[in-house]
């Protein structure tokens, strides 16, 4: 599953469920999230590119900051909506 996350191109985002599906676990969205949380290679796994199916972030328990994920994604060219969510329509992976 780590491979799948690693394959996410720069400037794109994928939902936990999407990653789980590509990883071969359509129902393992939860496991995916936890696997990232305790990822063996923190630097090799762009957890910030993985968000909810809605494009929403985890909410402060990730990476060590609230706006960190947003800042990183914006830095990569990901567009954020006024809602505070990622624009899945334009930056969503395989979309």
Q: Where are the beta strands (DSSP E) in the chain?
A: 14-15, 50-51
Phi and psi (nearest 5°) for 13? -135, 155
Q: Write each residue from 8 to 37 as x if it is in contact with DNA (CB under 7 A), else as -, in one continuous string.
A: -------xxx-------x-xxxxxxxxxxx
Active site residue 47: yes
Burial class (CB in 10 A: 0-12, 13-18, 19+), 55: buried
Is residue 73 a contact point for DNA (CB under 7 A)?
no
Closer Cβ to DNA, 11 or 31, answer by number: 31
Residues that bind DNA (CB under 7 A): 1, 15-17, 25, 27-39, 47, 50, 52-54, 58, 61-63
């Amino acid at each position: 599953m780590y491979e799948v996350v690693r394959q996410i191109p720069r400037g794109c985002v994928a939902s936990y469920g999407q990653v789980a599906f590509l990883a071969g676990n359509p129902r393992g969205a939860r496991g995916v999230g936890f696997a990232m949380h305790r990822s063996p290679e923190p630097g090799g796994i762009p957890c910030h590119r993985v968000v909810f199916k809605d494009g929403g972030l985890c909410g402060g328990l990730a990476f060590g900051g609230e706006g960190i994920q947003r800042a990183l994604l914006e830095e990569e060219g990901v567009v954020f909506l006024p809602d505070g969510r990622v624009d899945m329509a334009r930056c969503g992976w395989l979309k």
